Structure 1
């Protein structure tokens, strides 16, 4: 799989670096991905004045179905310039890339590139809150939404301003590798994995993680990986060199729930996943998830709709 980044003139650095770092972190954790960089100008300078140097021309990119193309935002004055509007060949290439079922992702005001490429027509999309009205005025056939972090429709993804590109990249990663893998990446980046309008429903692997306590994270990771193991408060406390009483207190303070309830939620989510496999019996699922009997599993499932 390839994830390609276009580096436009006057690129906003965080729009580029945020999503890029998500995939860089994921690659170091085992994601099979190739990161590539292209531009439609010989050299670019960021909006902050940082020279970007020479990168490959976008026409050299060989992207196909299953790959991703990220377009970071850029200085707004450039988007209103004749130079930007004159990049018809590039806009046509973006359109053709999307037609090949490459997933095209815009960050912040790079939605204007998609608009110029005709990819926002009759599509829901978003951009930085400051530019919502302007984007709608400029591309009246678009369906611009102003109060979401990102929108995913077909193979065209758009995100709101600046750091929302990280949220979009994490959402892409969750679709590829699942919630628990994505949580580990988000944790490594020290960001909270938020979810937008079109994101799938909440997952316990991501809930209760909006904290920075390393001992509580270690206990949570242990519980996820050892649902049917010894999860007594004494064992967990020994794992992080705390007293059982102190661990119970610290866990509740940082997560807002008790260890027992958190473990039950983990078991329920895992059980629901396993039960979707017709080859697994209820007895097998109960044992894998740490329930004493199938009847206990069925009773608890009823209590967690």
Structure 2
């Protein structure tokens, strides 16, 4: 019997706890007694904690009396975890517990607790898209892959935001007992076995805007107002009244990406908005957003978001009725 432990705290996100644990709990329905999972929670804030949504949880153990017999130890996330500092003794306990466990990791921004304990250095990890930049700043020796739903780096497993903990748990279950069991559990939980695409399809993709009074910001405003136009780099340099070489360097420095990439992201975001809130045909959206035709837009969506425009509309489009 393998022990799965989730570390919790006051203000934890309840889905970070219940989602992964429910995967292993449902798996126990299909497994022989000797193969089942022993599930437990360990609190670093006392046995009784309050989740970020107000739900009360009573942990089976606190960190001071945890038995250290974990086969898998996962740290849950929560809205306050990005800024929260824990006692050094808790970090020391976490390092020891993760060293003893066969596998360890985090759900959502639980990666910050691992990072502050020094467990992410020289590792490839992910976290909630909204916290990825902050995690990269906290752990400069880690490689943070912001668009991944989950990442395995040897015995370290990290997941993206909230419900991605279910995806990670299904992946871990598949490693333990094969794809058929993981698929049966996914069916019982009414979730997909393998999501299409990464976190970009959920996040505000265009978030690299220059300071408002910068010539680069003027160029960005020009791009957003003229998406149907070709918007060559030479044209954008002329808007900024800069040489092509100087413009490309300045744009990359201030926006964190090349001009052509910004144009592509702007077009994708504009198309996403129309797919979410309108009923226009995909080919009309492709023309309006500057892709030229539906095929080019589809290629851009698949390359950047991992899903086609049609799949994106099916997943996120509003039912506007008639």
Contact 1:63/1:102 (8 A) holds in 2: no
Unpaired runs of at least 5, structure 1? 198-305
CA separation of 1:149 and 1:8: change in aligned 2, threshold 3 A = same
Query: CA deviation digits over 1:210-241, x for unaligned, max 9?
Result: xxxxxxxxxxxxxxxxxxxxxxxxxxxxxxxx
Matches within 5 A, 1:108-257: 108-194=108-194
**Secondary structure of the corresponding residue to residue 95 of structure 2:** helix
User: Displacement of 1:29 after TM fit?
Assistant: 1.6
Contact 2:3/2:38 (8 A) holds in 1: yes
User: Displacement of 1:6 after TM fit?
Assistant: 1.5
CA separation of 1:119 and 1:41: change in aligned 2, threshold 3 A = same
User: Displacement of 1:105 after TM fit?
Assistant: 2.1
Provide the rounded CA distance (Å) in 1 between the counterparts of 2:59 and 2:73.
19
Provide the rounded CA distance (Å) in 2 between the counterparts of 1:181 and 1:86.
38
Provide the rounded CA distance (Å) in 1 between the counterparts of 2:166 and 2:98.
21
User: Displacement of 1:101 after TM fit?
Assistant: 4.0
Contact 1:105/1:157 (8 A) holds in 2: yes
Moved over 6 A (4+): none
Provide the rounded CA distance (Å) in 2 between the counterparts of 1:21 and 1:191.
12
Unpaired runs of at least 5, structure 2? 198-322
Contact 1:2/1:63 (8 A) holds in 2: no
Q: Which residue of the partner structure matches residue 10 of structure 1?
A: 11
Contact 1:98/1:155 (8 A) holds in 2: no
Q: Which residue of the partner structure matches residue 25 of structure 1?
A: 26
Provide the rounded CA distance (Å) in 2 between the counterparts of 1:160 and 1:152.
12
1:37 aligns with 2:41: yes
Matches within 5 A, 1:39-54: 39-42=43-46, 43-53=48-58
Q: Which residue of the partner structure matches residue 59 of structure 1?
A: 64
Provide the rounded CA distance (Å) in 1 between the counterparts of 2:183 and 2:87.
38
**Secondary structure of the corresponding residue to residue 73 of structure 2:** strand
TM-score computed with the length of structure 2 as normaliser? 0.57
Q: Which residue of the partner structure matches residue 73 of structure 1?
A: 77
TM-score computed with the length of structure 1 as normaliser? 0.60
User: Displacement of 1:49 after TM fit?
Assistant: 1.5
Q: Which residue of the partner structure matches residue 103 of structure 1?
A: 103
Contact 1:128/1:160 (8 A) holds in 2: yes
Provide the rounded CA distance (Å) in 2 between the counterparts of 1:54 and 1:161.
22
Q: How many residues align?
A: 192
Q: Which residue of the partner structure matches residue 211 of structure 1?
A: none
Contact 2:12/2:77 (8 A) holds in 1: yes
Provide the rounded CA distance (Å) in 2 between the counterparts of 1:145 and 1:38.
28
